[in-house]
Amino acid sequence: MSAPSENGGRHEGWLAAASWLREIAIVVVGALIASTLLRLFVAQMFVIPSGSMENTLLIRDRVAVQKIVGFQRGDIVVFRDTENWLAPAKVEDDPLKKALIFVGLAPDESSNHLIKRVIGVAGDHVTCCDARGRVTVNGTALNEGDYLYTDPTTGRRVEPSSVSFDVVVPAGTVFVMGDHRNDSADSRCHLSDDTGG
């Protein structure tokens, strides 16, 4: 019997290293594909950009938004700003950050998405305010005490709305409001838009 040559041992070492690297590459590519598919079809991460949903959600909080199920009145939703409610978004110029957002490994921090609470769905009659200063949906006053913004210094809760409105939510749309009503440019501010808020 002869001892294995030094070159043969190196060759086997290279083969083992190449096999290990190939397995790692397959796992990484598979994980990136799975993450991208999850972001596209199941859930996506966002960073809260403003105080419009305080105290429920604070600035810089991170939220995971599910895309599979629908929503109903009272739910918090994230939606793309297709009606130009916001100033033009800053374009992300870091290619690595763009790639990480695309595959779902970093939250989308762009300002082209809004997060609000659904107050009314298509066909609902939403008004403010009744004799007690409450928002009503289809004639029923909302109990919003659990989520309306409360000033941490004074302990005072914001009013349900400083703006009066009376709207029937158009088909294919929702009526949304921020929990911090004094710091939210929501449906109330866009009643004259084509979508009626």
- Rounded to a whole number, what is the distance in angstroms from the first to the last CA of the chain? 86
Same domain, 49 and 33: no
| 197 in any annotated domain | no
Same domain, 26 and 49: no
| 63 in any annotated domain | yes
Same domain, 90 and 172: yes
Domain interval for residue 12: 1-41
Per-residue pLDDT of the chain (197 residues; tens, 9 = 90+): 555 555 656 777 788 888 889 999 999 999 888 888 887 788 888 888 889 999 999 988 988 888 888 889 999 998 887 777 766 666 667 888 888 887 777 777 666 788 999 999 999 999 999 999 999 999 999 999 999 999 999 999 999 999 899 999 999 899 999 999 999 989 998 887 665 55
Write out the two tokens for 194.
């084509």
Same domain, 29 and 7: yes
| 196 in any annotated domain | no
Same domain, 13 and 104: no
Same domain, 1 and 18: yes
Same domain, 131 and 73: yes
The structural domain count of the chain equals: 2
Same domain, 20 and 93: no
What does the alpha-carbon distance between residue 73 and residue 78 come to, in Å, rounded to a whole number? 14
